[in-house]
Homo-oligomer: A and B are copies of this chain.
């Protein structure tokens, strides 16, 4: 099954656009986990098991594991998600971007070593830097398009002289068209700029959009959903990390994560109901 098909099945089954981002910061872990050798794995599986029925995907951020020498715990975490929660796609947030021979190694890392269903990539090095990932037909690649940080405008918002498009619009158009011959691509578009999200959706009507920035980064749920929904009333993977992970800092962290994830899922669902009917 392709990544996009798996994602569509997950949207249908969960009736949720929520993706929980797994950015484990040991400094913010509950006291009872601090110092345990597998604290990262225990924290993340606690979050995963408490929220798996509420989400369309999980998104571990590899930097948090790499900084802690916790690659083995990342392997175990993704294996845990596949074993206990089959059908919930795992997007490894790694934002890789390199030439072909090196990209082959990164593709082996994310798909063979970690068993991720999809990976985030940077488009800066162009189409051939994506091709090694597309050699895995059942996996997906989600390209940075318009990011939610302040510096996201530095290059992404520059206008292109050829046709007046902005750089992120060019990325969206390439990913909707010539780069997506195999149907394996998605786009990362931050939630902080709903008008630009709407523009990306117009340029890429059928491409899954990974939308970080809900919760701690302050994106507005209703405006985000209104801007990014596809014609089928889905098409978005709306990611929340810190607001869910650190909802409580004690032994109740998983229950608190479930409560916040439920509220976010419900708010997203209500927004879908409002905006899907107006199309």
Contact = CB atoms under 8 A, between A and B. Distances in A.
B151 A129 contact: yes
B102 A128 contact: no
A24 to B, nearest CB: 10
Interface string A48-70: 00000000000001011011010
Nearest to A99: B149
B124 A149 contact: no
Interface string A109-149: 10011000000001111111110000000000000100111
Interface stretch (A164-172, A224-232, A263-271): A164-172
Contact of A147 (B64, B125, B160): B125
A95 interface: yes
A99 to B, nearest CB: 4
A154 B127 contact: yes
Interface in A170-186: 170-171, 174
A56 to B, nearest CB: 22
Contact of A100 (B71, B149, B154, B155): B149
A106 B122 CA distance: 15
B105 A66 contact: yes
A8 interface: no
A66 B109 contact: yes
A150 B153 CA distance: 26
A152 interface: yes
Contacts of A95: 96-98, 122
A97 to B, nearest CB: 5
A73 interface: no
A93 B103 CA distance: 12
Best-surrounded residue of A67, A124, A147, A148 (most CB of chain B within 10 A):
A124
A159 interface: yes
Nearest to A154: B126
Interface in A220-261: none
Interface of A: 23, 61, 63-64, 66-67, 69, 71, 93, 95-103, 105-106, 108-109, 112-113, 122-130, 144, 147-156, 158-162, 164, 167, 170-171, 174
18 contacts: A23-B101, A61-B105, A63-B109, A64-B105, A66-B71, A66-B105, A69-B113, A95-B98, A97-B97, A97-B122, A123-B155, A124-B155, A125-B144, A126-B153, A158-B161, A158-B167, A159-B160, A161-B164
